[in-house]
Structure 1
């Protein structure tokens, strides 16, 4: 068996394994016990999706298609670099309180 996909967490590994299983590729998801050793912290990098050697190329092609389709186009509404509105309000309130404190 070969590692076809290194997932961020166990949930993502099972999603990819389900995709491959739906296309007739038998999978094994490894890393359940390693992730549990980290406790409640969301451990990353311990979950892998394994496939047979003969299915490796097909599995990686399907995974590449999955990753390409899961990316959404960046628009002005869903940009990741947009500051959070709560942070803006917090900074504004802190600035006003700082000015009030300096004037006393």
Structure 2
């Protein structure tokens, strides 16, 4: 399984997965449990659409068409070798770790 699309949230991931499935590509949405643990604010970057390896090229073509019609100026298609969370999620996790360290020092 490969990541075909990195969505802003779980809703967008399901929209793209539905688009892919409507075109005959089996798609799975990942990140359900991570999003619930992080809450709605820090959930960015955890909602991914996965497809089988042999469907990756066709899925990325459909994702490109989706992005062009949705008016998105920033491409969210995953590129090969790029498997990292969104920028905001990283900062949220860093802030959470700092708060935890401060609380450990106080108590």
Establish whether TM, by shorter chain, passes 0.5: yes
Contact 1:9–1:42 (Cα < 8 Å) also in 2: no
How many Å apart are 1:40 and its aligned residue?
4.4
SS of aligned partner of 1:37: helix
- Structure 1: give runs of 5+ residues left out of the alignment: 73-104
Contact 1:13–1:48 (Cα < 8 Å) also in 2: yes
Alignment of 1:58 onto 2:51: no
The equivalent of 2:20 in structure 1 is 20
Deviation sequence 1:43-75 (CA, Å, 0-9, x none): 211000000000000000000000001118xxx
Q: Which runs of 4+ in 1 moved over 4 A?
A: none
- Structure 2: give runs of 5+ residues left out of the alignment: 73-107
Contact 1:5–1:48 (Cα < 8 Å) also in 2: yes
How many Å apart are 1:39 and its aligned residue?
2.6
The equivalent of 2:33 in structure 1 is 33
The equivalent of 1:71 in structure 2 is 71
The equivalent of 1:6 in structure 2 is 6
TM-score by length of 2: 0.64
Distance in 1 (alpha carbons) for counterparts of 2:16 and 2:41: 22
Question: Rg: which structure is higher?
Answer: 1
Contact 1:4–1:56 (Cα < 8 Å) also in 2: yes
How many Å apart are 1:33 and its aligned residue?
0.2
